[in-house]
Homo-oligomer: A and B are copies of this chain.
Amino acid sequence: MNIPLSSYPRIVIIGGGFGGVSLAKKLSKKEVQVVLLDKNNYHTFQPLLYQVSTGGLEPDSIAYPLRKVLIGYDNFYFRLAEVTEVDPGHKKIKTDIGDLSYDYLVVATGSETNFFGNTEIEHHAMSMKSIPQSLNLRSLILENFEQALLTDDYHERDALMNFVIVGGGPTGVELAGALAEIKKGILPKDYPDLDTRRAQINIIQGGDCLLPGFSIQASKKAEDFLEELGVQVWKGVRVTGYDGKTVTTKTDLVFQSAAVIWAAGVKGASIKGLDAADVLAGGNRLKVNEFNQVIGYPEIFAIGDIACMATEDNPRGHPMVAQPAIQQGRLLGENMVKLLEHKPMKPFVYNDKGSMATIGRNKAVCDIKGYRFQGIFAWFVWMFVHLFFLIGFRNRMVVFINWVYNYIRFDREARLIIRPYKRDYSQFKD
């Protein structure tokens, strides 16, 4: 890879998510060379992907060009690359655009959808971890309604309008709420010649409550909100298969559906070369110490979803969400400077800012530092926080305009099928 040699130590960051970007920003203007690698040329604001899938936002408004992150900083290099292997013995990584040596390596690869080894579900269900995936889901939803108009088969029509969301975490809950609002506000107007009352939104949770990790109060309220919106909530149900038509479960409960969204789990996006059994914790994450150093590799760090730092409060690692990634990225930036100056590093302490999820218009739940509140105020807090953490002034403006418009007009205008006409869906899952 064509990265010029520098007299400064080279820090290679794999992944431009919340962790990688926060770290890169902290390292700007420091005496280091920073190489940021990502397989996309943009940062994705994952918490709003479900709004792209449901036509509420343009994809471009929740993405930010990674080259802009450290614009004007001399020792910053971005490369569009997929890292295939780490060779810690030679302090080198292998990528699809060539090898690169490093002095320090930071793995910030995030997470990917966990199908728990079920390849049938992996092949047929949609997931929502990236912008292309969200756009494909948006197209699928819209295409299914167009298709429903064309069939005389009653069962097929119902299946095309039957959404099954597997997983009752924030992603599943937010998507279910957004689909329910589309059913209520948009479908009857857009498809007057279709009985859209028959559209169903099911959310299936394996455990006993929605939003595990939230307070019982938030979890209960989220369920109430969803039911108010007409979503069917199934708890304690384990999905076992989906062949593109029928969702099977551990019991005799089945769903006929042409749109299954898998939001039932994530796992660390680990890289070859670091996957020794003694490094990987549960969920395919890399075990790190309190400085985010990968156990056994002092020059390799891991931050965010991919890092598993077992602490007293979080014995199985921090939650795989934005906040730990941002906080670890920032602290690691400071710690790397300390490391280079041979000063002691500061251990990571997670500042749990709380959890929140939005279910719909004026309906959100927040658990923030002991305060638990739900409803319209929670919804405004949710919006404010998301606008605040969104990267880029233009993005904030565009998202804000869209939200105001959607709120006033009960509308979601970005309902466009933008992909080659009638293409096989399976090609578009990545």
The count of identical subunits is: 2
Inter-subunit contact A77/B193 (CB<8 Å)? yes
Some 28 contacts from A to B, beta carbons below 8 A apart, are A2-B149, A39-B421, A40-B416, A40-B417, A40-B421, A41-B142, A41-B416, A41-B417, A42-B416, A42-B417, A60-B418, A63-B418, A64-B413, A65-B190, A65-B413, A65-B416, A67-B191, A68-B190, A72-B189, A131-B416, A131-B418, A132-B418, A392-B413, A394-B401, A398-B401, A420-B428, A420-B430, A421-B430
Inter-subunit contact A416/B60 (CB<8 Å)? yes
Chain A residues 36-76 with CB under 8 Å of chain B are: 39-42, 58-61, 63-65, 67-68, 71-72, 74
A405 within 8 A of B: yes
Q: What's the Cα separation between A428 and B63 when bound, in Å?
A: 22
Which residues of chain B have C-beta atoms less than 8 A from A143's C-beta? 80
Q: What's the Cα separation between A74 and B188 when bound, in Å?
A: 12
Min CB gap A258→B, angstroms: 16
Inter-subunit contact A63/B416 (CB<8 Å)? yes
Min CB gap A155→B, angstroms: 16
Which among B40, B61, B79, B152 is the interface contact of A58 at CB below 8 angstroms?
B61
Inter-subunit contact B415/A65 (CB<8 Å)? yes
A393 within 8 A of B: yes
Per-position binary interface string of chain A over residues 388-430, scored 1 when its CB falls under 8 Å from any chain B CB and 0 otherwise:
0000111101100110010001010111111111100000101
Which residues of chain B have C-beta atoms less than 8 A from A67's C-beta? 189-191
Per-position binary interface string of chain A over residues 7-46, scored 1 when its CB falls under 8 Å from any chain B CB and 0 otherwise:
0000000000000000000000000000000011110000
With CB as the reference atom, state the residue of chain B lying closest to A393: B405
Inter-subunit contact B150/A1 (CB<8 Å)? yes
Min CB gap A381→B, angstroms: 24
Chain A residues 75-109 with CB under 8 Å of chain B are: 77, 79-80, 82, 96-98
A370 within 8 A of B: no
Highest count of chain B CB atoms <10 Å: which of A71, A190, A392, A416 = A416
Which residues of chain B have C-beta atoms less than 8 A from A132's C-beta? 418-420
Q: What's the Cα separation between A98 and B150 when bound, in Å?
A: 9
Min CB gap A274→B, angstroms: 22
With CB as the reference atom, state the residue of chain B lying closest to A97: B150
A positions within 8 Å CB-CB of B: 1-2, 4, 39-42, 58-61, 63-65, 67-68, 71-72, 74, 77, 79-80, 82, 96-98, 131-132, 135, 142-143, 146, 149-150, 152, 189-193, 392-395, 397-398, 401-402, 405, 409, 411, 413-422, 428, 430
Q: What's the Cα separation between A61 and B135 when bound, in Å?
A: 15
Known A146-B80, A394-B401: A71·B420 in contact at CB below 8 Å = no
Which residues of chain B have C-beta atoms less than 8 A from A395's C-beta? 413
Which residues of chain B have C-beta atoms less than 8 A from A411's C-beta? 394
Min CB gap A68→B, angstroms: 7
Which residues of chain B have C-beta atoms less than 8 A from A190's C-beta? 65, 67-68, 71
With CB as the reference atom, state the residue of chain B lying closest to A41: B417
Closest 4 CB pairs of A and B: A58-B60, A58-B58, A60-B414, A67-B190
Which residues of chain B have C-beta atoms less than 8 A from A189's C-beta? 67, 71-72
Which residues of chain B have C-beta atoms less than 8 A from A60's C-beta? 58-60, 413-414, 416, 418
Which residues of chain B have C-beta atoms less than 8 A from A414's C-beta? 60
Which residues of chain B have C-beta atoms less than 8 A from A393's C-beta? 405
Q: What's the Cα separation between A146 and B65 when bound, in Å?
A: 13
Inter-subunit contact A2/B150 (CB<8 Å)? yes
With CB as the reference atom, state the residue of chain B lying closest to A4: B193
